[in-house]
Amino acid sequence: MNENKILELLSSWNFWGSGINIGIERNISNKIVEYIEGINKIIVLYGIRRSGKSYILRQIAKKLSDKYGKNNILYVNFEESGFVEKLNLEFLNKIYYIYKDYVKPNIKPVIILDEVQEIEGWERFVRSLNEKNEAIIILSGSSAKLLSKEISTILSGRTINFEIFSLSFQEFLVFKNFNNLLNLNKLKELLREYINFGGFPEVVLENNKEKRSEILINYYNTIVIKDVALRYKLKNIENLNFLSKFIISNVGNYITYNSLEKKYGIPVKTAQRYLEYLNDVRLYLYLNNFSFKLKEINKSPKKIYTIDTGFYTSLGYKVLPDNIGKLMENIVAIELFRRKSYYNKNLEIYYFKDYQQHEIDFLIKEGNNIKQLIQVSYINNYDEIDKREIRSLLKGYNLFKEYNPELLIITWDYEDTKVIDNVNIKFVPLYKWLLSV
């Protein structure tokens, strides 16, 4: 490709040229812009496909263009169909020098590389600029071809990683153009929609329910087949598909590799490998049981959550009164992971279950401090609460009393603070907790 053609393509994406659609603003874009100040780290965005990474990068490019000057920002998407040249290190260098020669940045530029895995040898280019402190680098990689842990290994500790999730409930309301938070009936109606169909941007913007399900099923199939089966050259697609659906239909439940072999005949090593792959591409996340001993944490059964509750309903599972509590718990789990990634990387998230079977949905730790013990319950008033949940919270409080953790029960529509056994327990509706960031 000649220089003029490359410059023409670059101009169509960048704000020193004709610019590009940045979509509806996501909360994380501001946070990443804040991180750029005074660091010499490579910022990496990763996460489930179709979660909006490319639009977030465009939003970052726009904000930085406004802040530092348009000519000091270069955004490149390597899935651009106009690139007819072989995507390799030589071509990447060619793009960079064309940008410098023609656009002439007057301060250290910010280079934003979207779908960087398409470039063979990209890591040498990125490492070189970072080592020379010549540019600030922000990049994203597809989970199908380049996992976050692989990026971190390749760049050997030079990165700050942000896992990008589908929309938070707060972002969901923005996408729905809803801002009347005093209209609680409509707010709770939208929360039910969020639970049923999840937060993938394309799904949220689609009004037809059947099309929403079709989009989600297509995402699911692409993740399982393309991102896992083809990437790892797996032959037993039946076991992979079973495990994928098992995870999605058992949110908030515990699994062990031995139980999968005993109940379903899937060999332990196969289950371990396949579940690791599905976690790598972020179809699901899991929690370990809290302990002060690392060995016990690693040995504990895993508590599983799908990355987006829309997968649950799109695969044919219905939201019913006896399972909506688990789906609420899934929403809370993903929101906790989102807050850890976006706002507080020091958070550690566990569940807690002792030998007497006292269960606490979430134990939140920060540094050496146990901050919160959280239960999630589908209740509308205090009389509906399962008293075992309160007993478990109080048991947990007594075990970790020296840390004085906050005790919280996230409900559907009940708000109060109760003093039980001289301990405060807060009850907060799910919608209010989700909007409390």
Burial classification of residue 74, based on how many CB atoms lie within 10 Å of its CB (0-12 exposed, 13-18 middle, 19 or more buried): buried
Kindly indicate the confidence band of residue 143, based on its pLDDT and cuts at 50, 70 and 90: low
Q: Which pLDDT belongs to residue 147?
A: 63
Kindly indicate the confidence band of residue 235, based on its pLDDT and cuts at 50, 70 and 90: confident
59-86, pLDDT tens digit by residue? 999 999 999 999 999 999 988 888 877 8
Alpha-carbon dihedral sign for residues 217, 304, 254, 237: positive
Contact 2, 68 (CB under 8 A): no
Q: Which pLDDT belongs to residue 145?
A: 60
Is residue 177 classed as helix, strand or coil in its secondary structure?
Answer: coil
Contact 413, 429 (CB under 8 A): yes
Q: Report all structural domains of the chain as residue ranges with CATH numbers, in order of start.
A: 3-164 (3.40.50.300), 169-336 (1.10.10), 344-434 (no CATH)
Residue 22 has pLDDT above 70, yes or no: yes
Is residue 77 classed as helix, strand or coil in its secondary structure?
Answer: strand
Q: Which pLDDT belongs to residue 42?
A: 93
What is the DSSP code string of 213-282?
A: HHHHHHHHHIIIIIIIIITTT-S-HHHHHHHHHHHHHTTT-EE-HHHHHHHH---HHHHHHHHHHHHHTT
Q: Which pLDDT belongs to residue 30?
A: 94
- Tokens (6 digits) for 143: 């989970």
Mean pLDDT of the chain: 94
Residue 144 has pLDDT above 60, yes or no: no
- Give mean pLDDT, residues 375-394: 95
In this structure, what are the phi and psi dihedrals at residue 286, rounded to the nearest 5 degrees?
-140, 160
Burial classification of residue 115, based on how many CB atoms lie within 10 Å of its CB (0-12 exposed, 13-18 middle, 19 or more buried): buried
SS3 of the chain: helix, strand, coil, percent, to 5 = 50, 20, 35
| CB burial readout 273-287, b (16+ within 10 A) else e | ebbebbbbbbbbbbb
- Tokens (6 digits) for 401: 């009393």
In 3D, which of 181, 176, 217 has the Cα closest to residue 199? Answer: 176
84-120, pLDDT tens digit by residue? 778 899 999 999 999 999 999 999 999 999 988 888 8
CA distance 394 to 358: 10
Distances (CA, A) of 44 to 96, 146, 346: 19, 12, 17
Least confident among 81-85, 215-219, 335-339: 81-85
pTM (predicted TM-score): 0.95
CA distance 324 to 192: 10
% of the chain with per-residue pLDDT over 90: 86
Q: Residue written as tokens 């509906």?
A: 384
Residue 305 has pLDDT above 70, yes or no: yes
243-290, pLDDT tens digit by residue? 999 999 999 999 999 999 999 999 999 999 999 999 999 999 999 999
Residue 151 has pLDDT above 80, yes or no: no
Q: pLDDT higher for 128 or 146?
A: 128
Residues in Cβ contact with 430 at an 8 Å cutoff, skipping those fewer than 6 apart: 191, 328, 331, 332, 376, 410, 411, 412
Q: Which pLDDT belongs to residue 35?
A: 87
Contact 22, 62 (CB under 8 A): yes
CA distance 187 to 194: 10
Q: Residue written as tokens 């990209």?
A: 122
- Tokens (6 digits) for 361: 């949905």
Q: Which pLDDT belongs to residue 148?
A: 63
